[in-house]
């Protein structure tokens, strides 16, 4: 901020420094030399203000503004095979937030807005560049849509074989992974039957183990044949974890951690064999927070009842294929967005219920959930119902996702 203010001062001083020392040569001086006329003073002030506004509009601060986004009907995004789609009653919305770089010129307006939250670049980006953050956001949306479709179909009772796991980029020589003959390109889908759908999940499972533990890794070698319906060859590999010393945070204290010896890619590998095609067109929207809304939208499309009970319902939250709902950011701003869309019900992750409730008006019912089944039960209590369903080739056998 100090640097930004200094820049403005330099710009202003530059404007004044170009004034010739001879006052008679100033273009706004009167012929009699009596000084600058009031009208000319106003022009000078206006010029200075224009320069200040221009400079302020060019100064980028290390902050981002999170403000209410839009609420978009999910039924306009979801496509299922002809003959399997049912008429949707009411409306089901996904919602997002706008994240905008902050200029010095914008700062007062954002400060005065109760609907806007200012985040530092470090808070939002987490140490990566804005371009990398955008790429990650797109990847998260792709993952969210796939998880939503699989979660919906599993909840409806369909068999959806597939996997999601952490990709091995490199195997270090002389390590437990090398001894077990793991190879780059293979995917670790589980450790001791505990799913490792991504890098964070794998690290979390490893940290719960001890050096020297004998573990069973679920490994998949993805099929590289273009257009192949094969998910890939799978096997179980037994590995004895090694040990390595690492520093803990800023304290510098050393501790011994379990060690596998692989370098993992940032992206996850996931493939599922759907019983029939289901697509979600999310346009340019990124991030994982529409997962729950997409899942409910797919279920609503594939069932003959009225999931929303004819209401205008909005939802936010991440989704996993087992139906678990995860927390998201920007719930305060999303609450404003769904109110503007005329929604009467807003389903949010249970951990963010209080935040949504504190920003909701008296006409908006807020529901906090931890699972997909809970969200559907809550909608049924409000008058929604799924109906008996009708599937030409795939009979409906409703059961919780597993």
Instruction: Give the pLDDT confidence of 239-250 residue by residue, as tens digits.
Output: 999 998 877 666
Give me the pLDDT at residue 11, please. Answer: 35
Annotated domain spans of the chain: 2-58, 65-97+136-158+274-381, 162-272
Mind listing the pLDDT tens digit for each residue in 358-385?
999 999 999 999 999 999 999 999 999 8
Give me the CATH code for the 162-272 domain, please. Answer: 2.30.42.10
What's the average model confidence in pLDDT over 284-301? 93
Q: Which residue has the higher pLDDT, 231 or 359?
A: 359
Q: How confident is the model at residue 225 (pLDDT cuts 50, 70, 90)?
A: low
d(CA 245, CA 301): 53
Read out DSSP for 66-109?
A: EEEEEEEEGGGTEE--TTT--PPPSEEEEEEEEEEEEEGGGHHH
pLDDT > 90? residue 218: yes
pLDDT > 60? residue 19: no
Provide the token pair at 179.
């001894």
pLDDT > 90? residue 123: no
Q: Which residue has the higher pLDDT, 286 or 53?
A: 286
Instruction: Give domain 65-97+136-158+274-381's CATH architecture.
Output: 2-Layer Sandwich (3.30)
What's the average model confidence in pLDDT over 297-303? 93
Mind listing the pLDDT tens digit for each residue in 388-400?
754 433 344 443 3
């Amino acid at each position: 901020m100090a640097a930004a203010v200094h820049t403005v001062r330099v710009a202003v001083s530059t404007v004044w420094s170009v004034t010739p020392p001879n006052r008679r040569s100033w273009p706004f001086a009167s012929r009699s030399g009596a000084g600058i006329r009031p009208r000319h003073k106003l022009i000078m002030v206006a010029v200075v203000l224009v320069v200040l506004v221009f400079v302020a509009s060019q100064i980028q601060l290390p902050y981002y503004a999170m403000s209410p986004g839009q609420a978009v009907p999910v039924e306009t995004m979801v496509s299922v095979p002809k003959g399997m789609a049912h008429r949707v009653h009411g409306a089901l919305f996904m919602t997002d937030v706008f994240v905008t770089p902050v200029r010095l010129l914008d700062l007062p307006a954002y400060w005065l807005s109760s609907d806007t939250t200012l985040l530092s670049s470090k808070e939002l980006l987490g140490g990566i560049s804005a371009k990398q953050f955008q790429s990650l956001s797109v990847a998260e949306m792709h993952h969210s849509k796939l998880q939503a479709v699989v979660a919906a179909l599993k909840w409806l009772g369909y068999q959806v074989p597939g996997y999601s796991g952490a990709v091995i980029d490199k195997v270090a020589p002389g390590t437990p992974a090398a001894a077990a003959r793991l190879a780059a390109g293979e995917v670790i889908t589980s450790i001791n039957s505990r799913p490792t759908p991504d890098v964070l999940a794998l690290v979390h499972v490893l940290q719960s183990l001890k050096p020297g533990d004998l573990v069973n890794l679920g490994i998949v070698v993805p099929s590289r044949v273009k257009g192949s319906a094969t998910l890939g060859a799978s096997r179980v590999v037994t590995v004895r974890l090694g040990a390595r010393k690492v520093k803990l945070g800023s304290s510098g204290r050393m501790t011994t951690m379990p060690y596998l010896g692989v370098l993992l890619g940032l992206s996850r590998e996931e493939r599922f064999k759907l019983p029939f095609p289901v697509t979600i067109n999310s346009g340019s929207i990124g991030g994982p927070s529409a997962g729950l809304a997409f899942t409910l939208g797919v279920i609503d499309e594939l069932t003959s009842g009225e999931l929303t009970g004819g209401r205008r319902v909005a939802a936010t939250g991440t989704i996993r294929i087992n139906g678990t709902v995860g927390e998201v950011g920007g719930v305060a701003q999303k609450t404003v967005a769904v109110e503007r869309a005329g929604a009467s019900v807003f389903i949010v992750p249970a951990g963010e219920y209080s935040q949504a409730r504190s920003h909701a008006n008296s006409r908006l019912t807020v529901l906090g959930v931890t699972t997909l089944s809970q969200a559907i039960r809550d909608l049924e209590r409000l008058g929604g119902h799924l109906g008996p369903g009708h599937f030409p080739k795939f009979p409906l056998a409703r059961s919780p996702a597993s």
